[in-house]
A and B are shown apart, each in its own frame.
Chain A
């Protein structure tokens, strides 16, 4: 069995973000980097599948500068067999269609039985790459998966919908799965695995070799939301404040419909 998991290195969301000089993305200074949270669920699920299938090979793919290799090593330490680094110093300048194009070009002809990605990235949040890759490869895709099971060539998955409802989906491999919070608890890499990961294959391919599609959209501007109103402090006795609060919740929000 051949499995591919695609991950992205993103800034930690606790970082203080600033808009970069070009005004279309965030500045890269003073940021702490980590694996995209949704991709952690993808890696965990891919490793679990590999453990279940016993005779499986799991590749982790990541697009970015040399910096992203740190994050790839974590995926290798969690259990991936080899890394495919797509060297690109301007990954953040590419839009989801281009990213999907690069991945699809990489995956073309390799006959992966399963491709896992995170549901979306924590920085761009387009939620398009996984599904686009499936379309480009002519494969079915199931997104927002919160439960995954594999039995003899068939995937049984649960998708999370609004209001906590889940949709049960059954599909034959090969298929692309995008992963959502709640799917699993990503494992903490053990030290022997961290040490083995240092020796696993991690090949770099220049992005130009794989980018065969054109961008279809561009980022016009990125900016912080303008400050409108300030906070409102309610005062008065408990009962009064409760009434005021209920009124605000009813009129200004959808919390008490």
Chain B
């Protein structure tokens, strides 16, 4: 027999079928396009932003994430369910397209049929299995949402429409196939190439020929109407994510990762700074809300949300969208809430995991900028005091600037003012310079450099705070003032390479300072030390150490540096027991986002929660790579009551104790 099927069998080949079919399709697609276009003016309420440069790269990112479902499947449950559903549905769409190509083009115009023989057999079985996979995956998603919904998952009318419509389309598809097979394919070798259809055909066989023909015809038209309905509903429901989420990959921030937009403070014409109104956010900030499918992966990972603060990154993103669509004159600070905005630690867990490539953090900082720069508002008086201390003495701790280099006395290193001929400038940072606990880390680093024969110099009292906590709090003006002065000093000494022991300083000098003219290469100490060991310049004795490792947000998610610290621990002889939440899933220590300057007044203390995670590993040392983390953990072990059993230490200290 011929392995093929008659397209439009029973339904009719003539105008009576084709005209209404194409008419409905044209209307449905027209409404789809119109619905999508209607949303564009709403996005355009926001400020312009160029996200169409480097087209090739953008398209690649989009294809990778849409076709391979990379970000979606990163969280396998329920990510894989969606991925498999997507691939299955994609195959069904391709299948239908092939039928259209043959029926309305190659066969109609050239009498060429390709849906036959081996190709048709493959076509048939692939689509049958695809349809089955879709039904099973959709079933899984439905059961999860309606019977085993994880806490915080919002289910709306949209979801019911989407599940219902998809299911009905898939099921009617199999009814059409089954009823056709029951009449045309029973007992033929072709039937086994549509196994699911065969099962349906067997179930329907009792209807008799007339019944089957009627069922087939009616279901065919019903199926068509449902699919047209689906098209029309795309822009009107969460179905729009098919277009918006895919586009959002195209419109991604191409980096550097997490870098904030530089405010132009030179412009004398500017009257407002930061955003209070949706028109002061960018079109992308509004579009992100349309790309959001409320999957809540961001909320699940937000350290503030997890500890009782009112911040949900998902909610903030969607509130911006709602404001743009329903109430564009509203004051965004009032809509979102001040406590919500101040709670963010900029840990980037939300952005890292978001399968829709939404950018949460920049929106929060932009709103903070308006509170600080336009109102002089901060989360608390202690933050204002820290800002003023930084203005006066170049550090938020309020210690006299002239003492900044005193920690290094007697170590055998000089400030660049005394000797600028150095291999590297060690940018110490405020905590390494002034905080007793972190001075020990700075000293350890110097010791390691000297053991490796590296000549290190510091700026001493000519160094100022890098400005990072101030910038993340929204004080762009103070940040830029500090940055400009630091850059001037660094350039004046002709520094060739900068190394820092603070990930916040590292991130700021390596990324943010580029906007303000710093070109000097910047390295973080863990990578620097790793290289020294690899080159044989630094020899470390391995001695036993039971430990767990905390990936700081600013080395980890912000800079994708996860292995350097682990390699150093291995070199030191460490027996590393990982916490459940490690690497990109690490749980913030709470001090980022400028919150090192602020008091934590709402909910549970984030640092205690993280220390408890570390204690659970049974390790006796909690190794970190950031002065903020070290400070928060020293406080956290006391709060968690584990100070006798868990010691916080920096990786530099551990290595310095093991110099060969």
By a beta-carbon cutoff of 8 Å, the part of chain A in contact with chain B is: 12, 14-16, 30-34, 185, 187-192, 194-195
A14 engages B374 (CB within 8 Å):
no
| In the complex, chain B residues whose CB is within 8 Å of the CB of A192 | 271-273, 373-374
B400 engages A188 (CB within 8 Å):
no
A188 engages B477 (CB within 8 Å):
no
Query: In the bound complex, how far is the Cα of B381 from the Cα of A195, in angstroms?
Result: 23
User: What residue in chain B is nearest A188 (Cβ atoms)?
Assistant: B376
User: What residue in chain A is nearest B403 (Cβ atoms)?
Assistant: A16
**Distance from B183 Cβ to chain A, minimum over Cβ atoms (Å):** 77
| In the complex, chain B residues whose CB is within 8 Å of the CB of A194 | 477
B392 engages A190 (CB within 8 Å):
no
Say whether chain B's binding surface is mostly helix, strand, loop, or mixed.
Answer: helix
**Distance from B92 Cβ to chain A, minimum over Cβ atoms (Å):** 56
A12-B393, A16-B403, A189-B376 are known contacts; what are 6 more A-B pairs with Cβ within 8 Å? A12-B398, A31-B402, A188-B384, A190-B374, A191-B374, A191-B476
Does B6 make an interface contact (CB < 8 A)? no
**Distance from B548 Cβ to chain A, minimum over Cβ atoms (Å):** 35
Contact of B265 among A15, A30, A31, A191 (CB under 8 A): A191
| In the complex, chain A residues whose CB is within 8 Å of the CB of B373 | 190-192
Does B182 make an interface contact (CB < 8 A)? no
| In the complex, chain B residues whose CB is within 8 Å of the CB of A191 | 265, 273, 373-374, 476-477
Q: How many A-B residue pairs have CB under 8 A?
A: 54
**Distance from A77 Cβ to chain B, minimum over Cβ atoms (Å):** 10
Does B401 make an interface contact (CB < 8 A)? yes
**Chain B residues within 8 Å of chain A by Cβ, number:** 28
| In the complex, chain A residues whose CB is within 8 Å of the CB of B374 | 190-192
| In the complex, chain A residues whose CB is within 8 Å of the CB of B338 | none
Q: Which of B582-597 contact A (CB under 8 A)?
A: none
| In the complex, chain A residues whose CB is within 8 Å of the CB of B387 | 188
**Distance from B161 Cβ to chain A, minimum over Cβ atoms (Å):** 47
Does B378 make an interface contact (CB < 8 A)? yes
| In the complex, chain B residues whose CB is within 8 Å of the CB of A34 | 388, 392
Q: Report 5 cross-chain contacts, Cβ distance below 8 Å, ordered by A residue.
A: A14-B393, A30-B401, A30-B402, A185-B381, A190-B374
**Distance from A190 Cβ to chain B, minimum over Cβ atoms (Å):** 5
User: What residue in chain A is nearest B375 (Cβ atoms)?
Assistant: A190
**Distance from B377 Cβ to chain A, minimum over Cβ atoms (Å):** 8
**Distance from B263 Cβ to chain A, minimum over Cβ atoms (Å):** 9
By a beta-carbon cutoff of 8 Å, the part of chain B in contact with chain A is: 265, 268, 271-273, 372-378, 381, 384, 387-388, 392-394, 398-403, 461, 476-477
Query: In the bound complex, how far is the Cα of B271 from the Cα of A185, in angstroms?
Result: 25
Query: In the bound complex, how far is the Cα of B375 from the Cα of A160, in angstroms?
Result: 30
**Distance from A217 Cβ to chain B, minimum over Cβ atoms (Å):** 30
| In the complex, chain B residues whose CB is within 8 Å of the CB of A14 | 393, 398-400
**Distance from A42 Cβ to chain B, minimum over Cβ atoms (Å):** 16
Query: In the bound complex, how far is the Cα of B400 from the Cα of A14, in angstroms?
Result: 5
Query: In the bound complex, how far is the Cα of B270 from the Cα of A192, in angstroms?
Result: 8
Query: In the bound complex, how far is the Cα of B393 from the Cα of A144, in angstroms?
Result: 28
| In the complex, chain A residues whose CB is within 8 Å of the CB of B265 | 191
User: What residue in chain B is nearest A193 (Cβ atoms)?
Assistant: B376
**Distance from A53 Cβ to chain B, minimum over Cβ atoms (Å):** 21
A30 engages B461 (CB within 8 Å):
yes
User: What residue in chain A is nearest B267 (Cβ atoms)?
Assistant: A195
| In the complex, chain B residues whose CB is within 8 Å of the CB of A33 | 392
| In the complex, chain A residues whose CB is within 8 Å of the CB of B461 | 30
User: What residue in chain A is nearest B374 (Cβ atoms)?
Assistant: A190
User: What residue in chain B is nearest A195 (Cβ atoms)?
Assistant: B268
Query: In the bound complex, how far is the Cα of B268 from the Cα of A117, in angstroms?
Result: 33
Query: In the bound complex, how far is the Cα of B374 from the Cα of A52, in angstroms?
Result: 20
Residues A15 and B378 in contact in the complex (CB < 8 Å), given A32-B392, A34-B392, A191-B477: no
Query: In the bound complex, how far is the Cα of B372 from the Cα of A30, in angstroms?
Result: 30
- Counting chain A CB atoms within 10 Å of each CB, which of B273, B387, B394 scores highest? B273
B400 engages A16 (CB within 8 Å):
yes
| In the complex, chain B residues whose CB is within 8 Å of the CB of A185 | 381
Contact of A32 among B272, B401, B476 (CB under 8 A): B401
B402 engages A16 (CB within 8 Å):
yes
B376 engages A187 (CB within 8 Å):
yes
B375 engages A15 (CB within 8 Å):
no
User: What residue in chain B is nearest A29 (Cβ atoms)?
Assistant: B402
B400 engages A15 (CB within 8 Å):
yes
**Distance from A10 Cβ to chain B, minimum over Cβ atoms (Å):** 11
User: What residue in chain B is nearest A31 (Cβ atoms)?
Assistant: B402
User: What residue in chain B is nearest A78 (Cβ atoms)?
Assistant: B376
Query: In the bound complex, how far is the Cα of B373 from the Cα of A36, in angstroms?
Result: 23
User: What residue in chain B is nearest A34 (Cβ atoms)?
Assistant: B392
User: What residue in chain A is nearest B372 (Cβ atoms)?
Assistant: A188
User: What residue in chain B is nearest A30 (Cβ atoms)?
Assistant: B402
A190 engages B398 (CB within 8 Å):
no
Query: In the bound complex, how far is the Cα of B256 from the Cα of A156, in angstroms?
Result: 57
- Counting chain B CB atoms within 10 Å of each CB, which of A30, A33, A34, A190 scores highest? A190
5 tightest CB-CB pairs across the interface, nearest first?
A188-B376, A30-B402, A191-B373, A15-B400, A34-B392
| In the complex, chain B residues whose CB is within 8 Å of the CB of A195 | 268
| In the complex, chain B residues whose CB is within 8 Å of the CB of A31 | 402
| In the complex, chain B residues whose CB is within 8 Å of the CB of A30 | 400-402, 461
Query: In the bound complex, how far is the Cα of B273 from the Cα of A33, in angstroms?
Result: 28
Query: In the bound complex, how far is the Cα of B375 from the Cα of A189, in angstroms?
Result: 8
Query: In the bound complex, how far is the Cα of B443 from the Cα of A105, in angstroms?
Result: 56
Query: In the bound complex, how far is the Cα of B388 from the Cα of A31, in angstroms?
Result: 16
**Distance from B249 Cβ to chain A, minimum over Cβ atoms (Å):** 35
Query: In the bound complex, how far is the Cα of B377 from the Cα of A187, in angstroms?
Result: 9
Query: In the bound complex, how far is the Cα of B91 from the Cα of A84, in angstroms?
Result: 79
| In the complex, chain A residues whose CB is within 8 Å of the CB of B400 | 12, 14-16, 30, 32
| In the complex, chain A residues whose CB is within 8 Å of the CB of B477 | 191, 194
| In the complex, chain B residues whose CB is within 8 Å of the CB of A16 | 400, 402-403
User: What residue in chain A is nearest B273 (Cβ atoms)?
Assistant: A191
**Distance from A156 Cβ to chain B, minimum over Cβ atoms (Å):** 26
**Distance from A48 Cβ to chain B, minimum over Cβ atoms (Å):** 14
Query: In the bound complex, how far is the Cα of B401 from the Cα of A30, in angstroms?
Result: 8
A188 engages B378 (CB within 8 Å):
yes
User: What residue in chain A is nearest B393 (Cβ atoms)?
Assistant: A32
Query: In the bound complex, how far is the Cα of B375 from the Cα of A33, in angstroms?
Result: 25
Query: In the bound complex, how far is the Cα of B400 from the Cα of A30, in angstroms?
Result: 9
User: What residue in chain A is nearest B263 (Cβ atoms)?
Assistant: A191
| In the complex, chain A residues whose CB is within 8 Å of the CB of B392 | 12, 32-34
**Distance from B491 Cβ to chain A, minimum over Cβ atoms (Å):** 23
- Counting chain A CB atoms within 10 Å of each CB, which of B265, B387, B392 scores highest? B392
Query: In the bound complex, how far is the Cα of B394 from the Cα of A14, in angstroms?
Result: 12
**Distance from A138 Cβ to chain B, minimum over Cβ atoms (Å):** 37
| In the complex, chain A residues whose CB is within 8 Å of the CB of B372 | 188
